[in-house]
Structures are given as structure tokens and as C-alpha cells.
């Protein structure tokens, strides 16, 4: 009997909590679609902003926490108005560094952009990540966080083994031992090439000064309209 009474009392409370939670969720959804507050400009998430690096970055010497400096190289407009002019400075941080292994694993670098600094001195917090590296031939960008990864070097290692094997075969044949010598020399050369590949690291991620970086806003960027209007 007591258990039934407790259940009867608990049901209305549970229903009330569920209704309140649904109302809160609905408010959050509505607020996400509301227009910007007076005096504010909202640059939507997903906006792509082209940058150029102002310093070289390499997984050989970069450390987690190191600063990243870049500059916008094309104006971003919203409703027929420039909201991020070309020449705006962008600052970020390196979040993760991984060098290539000697046997497997590729070099990787993760960086996030955190701040916009306008020519007027106005500073705005920025939630940005790497979307793409236009023109990069040896790096790729993977994942939603924009991790930069060096290309695989399996073909390069195989080429090293093949090259040293061919050299060894040639030396063995010239030594006057004919096919037998070529076979022995080739095996020795292949072993040397394999040893070299195992002892050396893969290439580091290297982004020179001026590297083009396509940044993407991970969340809406809120700007103060009055500060944008200053000259």
C-alpha cells in the first residue's frame, strides 16, 4: 500500500520535471535561431576564412602550447559589409604534436585559432580550426578538429630497399661471381636498405612561412559592431 502511494506521488513530480526539461530544451533551440542582440554581429559557424601563416611550424621542434600567428588574406563579408578585413591578425595555440615513428606512424600536428586582432586593436575571441591546406602536396587534414598529418612514406621506404638491393646486385656481379654474386649482393643491399628505413624517422610536418590555411569557425563568432566601425 505504501509503495503504491509513493508511486502515485512520484508520477506527477516526474511528469513536471520532464515538462520543464522539454521547455528548457525548446528555449535553447529558439535562442540559437534568434537574431543578434542590438550592437552585435554574428558570423555563423562553418564560415571559412583564408589565412597565411606568419611563422614556420614543424613537428620537429614545435611543442604543445606554442603560439601560432597568422593573418587573413581576404576580406569576409556579411550582409554587404566587411566584418573581417584582410590583414586581420589571427592568434592560436598548438594543441598536439606527434613526430613520425621509425617503423610506423606519421607526423601529426593539431592547432586551434583562438583570437582575432583587428588593425584598430579590437580583439575578439575566436573558435577556429584548420579546415584545409590549399596547395599542400605532402600534408592532409583529417577529422573535425583539423589535425594536419604528413603523407605516408611506404613507397619511399620500398624505393630505398629496392635501390640498395639493385646497387648490391650490381656490385656482386662486377665482383666476378656472376648470377650467384648478384643474388648475394642484392640480398645484402636489400638488408641494408631495410635497416636504413627502420633506423630513420618519417618526415616531419613542415609548414613554411606564408603557408595557406583555410580556417573554419567551429561556433558562431560574436563581434561588437561599434568597435568594428572605429577607424
Domain count, the chain: 3
Average pLDDT in the 168-197 region? 50
Q: For residue 75, give every residue at least 6 positions away whose Cβ sits within 8 Å of its Cβ, in sequence order, or none.
A: 82, 84, 85, 86
* C-alpha dihedral (206, 211, 216, 221), degrees to nearest 10: 120
Query: What's the CA gap between 66 and 68, in Å, rounded?
Result: 7
Q: Of the spans 21-25, 160-164, 171-175, 222-226, which averages the highest pLDDT?
A: 222-226
Is 198's pLDDT higher than 70?
no
Domain extent at residue 219: 38-151+207-228
Residues 107 and 211 in one domain: yes
Residue pLDDT, tens place only, 147-169 = 888 876 554 544 444 454 455 44
- Partners of 218 in the β-ladder: none
Are 148 and 173 contacting, i.e. CB atoms less than 8 angstroms apart? no
Residues 43 and 138 in one domain: yes
Give pLDDT, residue 100: 80
Amino acid at each position: 500500500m505504501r509503495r503504491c502511494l509513493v508511486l502515485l506521488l512520484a508520477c506527477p513530480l516526474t511528469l513536471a520535471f520532464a515538462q520543464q526539461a522539454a521547455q528548457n530544451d525548446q528555449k535553447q533551440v529558439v535562442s540559437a535561431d534568434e537574431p543578434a542582440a542590438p550592437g552585435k554581429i554574428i558570423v555563423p559557424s562553418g564560415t571559412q576564412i583564408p589565412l597565411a601563416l606568419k611563422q614556420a611550424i614543424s613537428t620537429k621542434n614545435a611543442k604543445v602550447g606554442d603560439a601560432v600567428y597568422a593573418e587573413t588574406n581576404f576580406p569576409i563579408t556579411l550582409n554587404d559589409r566587411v566584418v573581417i578585413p584582410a590583414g586581420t591578425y589571427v592568434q592560436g595555440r598548438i594543441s598536439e604534436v606527434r613526430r613520425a615513428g621509425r617503423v610506423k606512424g606519421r607526423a601529426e600536428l593539431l592547432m586551434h585559432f583562438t583570437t582575432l586582432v583587428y588593425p584598430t586593436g579590437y580583439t575578439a575571441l575566436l573558435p577556429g580550426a584548420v579546415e584545409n591546406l590549399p596547395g599542400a602536396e605532402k600534408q592532409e587534414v583529417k577529422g573535425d578538429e583539423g589535425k594536419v598529418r604528413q603523407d605516408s612514406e611506404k613507397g619511399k621506404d620500398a624505393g630505398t630497399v629496392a635501390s640498395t638491393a639493385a646497387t648490391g646486385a650490381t656490385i656482386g656481379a662486377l665482383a666476378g661471381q656472376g648470377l650467384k654474386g648478384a643474388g648475394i649482393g642484392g640480398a645484402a643491399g636489400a638488408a641494408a636498405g631495410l635497416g636504413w628505413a627502420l633506423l630513420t624517422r618519417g618526415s616531419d610536418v613542415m609548414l613554411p612561412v606564408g603557408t595557406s590555411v583555410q580556417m573554419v569557425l567551429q561556433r558562431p563568432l560574436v563581434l561588437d559592431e561599434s568597435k568594428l566601425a572605429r577607424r
